[in-house]
Amino acid sequence: MGKAQIYDFGEVYSSYAAGCLDPAFCLLVETQAALRPDVSRAVARAETIAGIFLESEQQAELSDGAAARAFAMIDAFEAGERPSGIAVHDANEGLEEFLALPEPLRETALQSFQSNKWQNLTRGIRRLKLDAGSEAEVELYRIEPGCTVPRHSHESSEFTLVVSGGFSDESGSFGPGDISVKGPEDTHQPTGDMDGVCFALAIRDGGLKFTGMMGLVQRLIGQ
């Protein structure tokens, strides 16, 4: 489905197998491997070549720690006064979305949610800063069907892995397991597909540079 910019991920998989890949990209590789059997096989081959004999597939069972964080998340959602059970419904829906994420992204998202919370970017677009132990910017995006991320370019490179649903931009369409690679010369405006909510993991070594009205606001507030 994807028409991502050509990029040699073989080197990334080799670095992962050798244990010298940045933690943010480890998260990306492991999440993509959980979504795509071909990537899981490529990672396994890289591990064999590197002489590292690890299990190529891991069970996506919820750890005890993740379960505790999940219950804490329910408590956070349900805190305060709630009108006629609407908050309970929203809490359950939000929790189900987190639990549907593949490991290790699920664990990272649950843990990060406790301190960072969702940030509303624009209508139908939310992002959650993930604590991945990396110097890179790592975010989980939630894109409602038909909603559009404001047009932007990048200070440096950006790697966006579609975890569920899909989005399209000027370069093509991307579905689960696809990675969109953008550089400083690229400007795009991703729009969520109409068949469901899109979750995407974005890793970049520089910030976003918005255009138009969002760009003006960004410059005014100095971000």
Provide mean pLDDT across the span 121-141: 94
Cis ω for the linkage preceding 104 (within 30 of 0): yes
Number of helices and strands in the chain (H, E): 7, 11
Q: What residues contact residue 1 under an 8 Å CB cut-off, 6+ apart?
A: 166, 173, 174, 175, 178
The answer on pLDDT for 140 being more than 90 is yes
CA 52 to CA 75: how far, in whole Å? 41
- Given a contact cutoff of 8 angstroms between Cβ atoms, the answer to whether 137 and 204 are in contact is yes
The pLDDT of residue 4? 45
- Given a contact cutoff of 8 angstroms between Cβ atoms, the answer to whether 92 and 184 are in contact is no
What is 103-221's CATH number? Answer: 2.60.120.10
Provide mean pLDDT across the span 98-113: 94
Provide mean pLDDT across the span 155-163: 90
Name, of 18-22, 60-64, 160-164, 206-210, the range with top average pLDDT.
160-164
pTM of the model: 0.74
The answer on pLDDT for 23 being more than 50 is yes
The answer on pLDDT for 86 being more than 50 is no
Pairing of strands 152-154, 208-210: antiparallel
Give one DSSP letter per residue of 133-167, joined into a string: SSSSEEEEEEE-TT-BPPPEEESS-EEEEEEES-E
Domains in the chain: boundaries:
62-101, 103-221
- Given a contact cutoff of 8 angstroms between Cβ atoms, the answer to whether 162 and 197 are in contact is no
